[in-house]
């Protein structure tokens, strides 16, 4: 995975659409408005720049290319919750996971709390999975990989 390149690319890209998370993010209810920053060379990665707390940016990745079969390994309740939000049925609805780069350069993905972004409506929500075993810290390798 060319993660180091992807991080650099989205960090330097211009801001894109603005998305509102009406309920905020889990643990951060005041973080509601984000610019989605993307680079065409790395479409599977994006940076969410928080407009409510400008010092906060979240690196995210599209779940499907990162973890093939992700949706197939969800429990029925979680599949239904994501389907109700348009995941898999509407092309303007994207499913992301937040990435964390540890001090050791290890990268993990939060697959237990994916972000659903509806580009057409300009809104998003974080779904806390309750019917699946995906972890909060799914190992992806290191930035140097």
pLDDT, tens only, 43-89: 888 889 999 998 999 999 999 999 999 999 999 999 999 999 999 89
Q: Give the fold, CATH level 3, of 3-142.
A: BH3618-like (2.30.290)
What is this structure's pTM? 0.87
pLDDT band at 1; cut points 50, 70, 90: very low
**Angle, alpha carbons 101-143-114 (nearest 5°):** 45
pLDDT at position 8 is: 57
3-state secondary structure of 66: helix
Contact partners, residue 31, CB within 8 Å, separation at least 6: 21, 24, 25, 50, 52, 53, 56
pLDDT score of 143 more than 50 = yes
Report, as an integer, the average pLDDT of 125-132: 94
Structural contact between residues 59 and 47, judged by C-beta atoms closer than 8 angstroms: yes
pLDDT at position 34 is: 95
Q: In this prediction, what percent of the chain has a pLDDT beyond 90?
A: 64
Q: Is 47 exposed, middle or buried (0-12, 13-18, 19+ CB in 10 A)?
A: buried
**Whole-angstrom distance, CA of residue 103 vs CA of residue 90:** 37
What separation in angstroms does the CA of 109 have from each of 14, 40, 89, 93, 122?
24, 21, 24, 19, 24
């Amino acid at each position: 995975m060319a993660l180091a390149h992807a991080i650099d690319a989205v960090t330097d890209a211009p801001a894109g659409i603005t998305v509102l998370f009406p309920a905020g993010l889990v643990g951060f209810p005041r973080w509601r408005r984000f610019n989605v920053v993307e680079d065409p060379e790395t479409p599977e990665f994006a940076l969410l720049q928080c407009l409510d707390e400008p010092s906060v940016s979240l690196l995210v990745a599209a779940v499907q290319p990162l973890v093939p079969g992700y949706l197939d390994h969800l429990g029925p309740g979680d599949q239904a919750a994501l389907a109700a939000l348009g995941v898999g049925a509407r092309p303007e609805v994207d499913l992301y996971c937040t990435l964390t780069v540890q001090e050791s350069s290890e990268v993990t993905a939060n697959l237990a709390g994916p972000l659903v972004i509806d580009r057409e409506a300009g809104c998003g929500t974080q779904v806390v999975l309750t019917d699946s075993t995906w972890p909060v810290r799914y190992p992806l390798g290191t930035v140097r990989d």
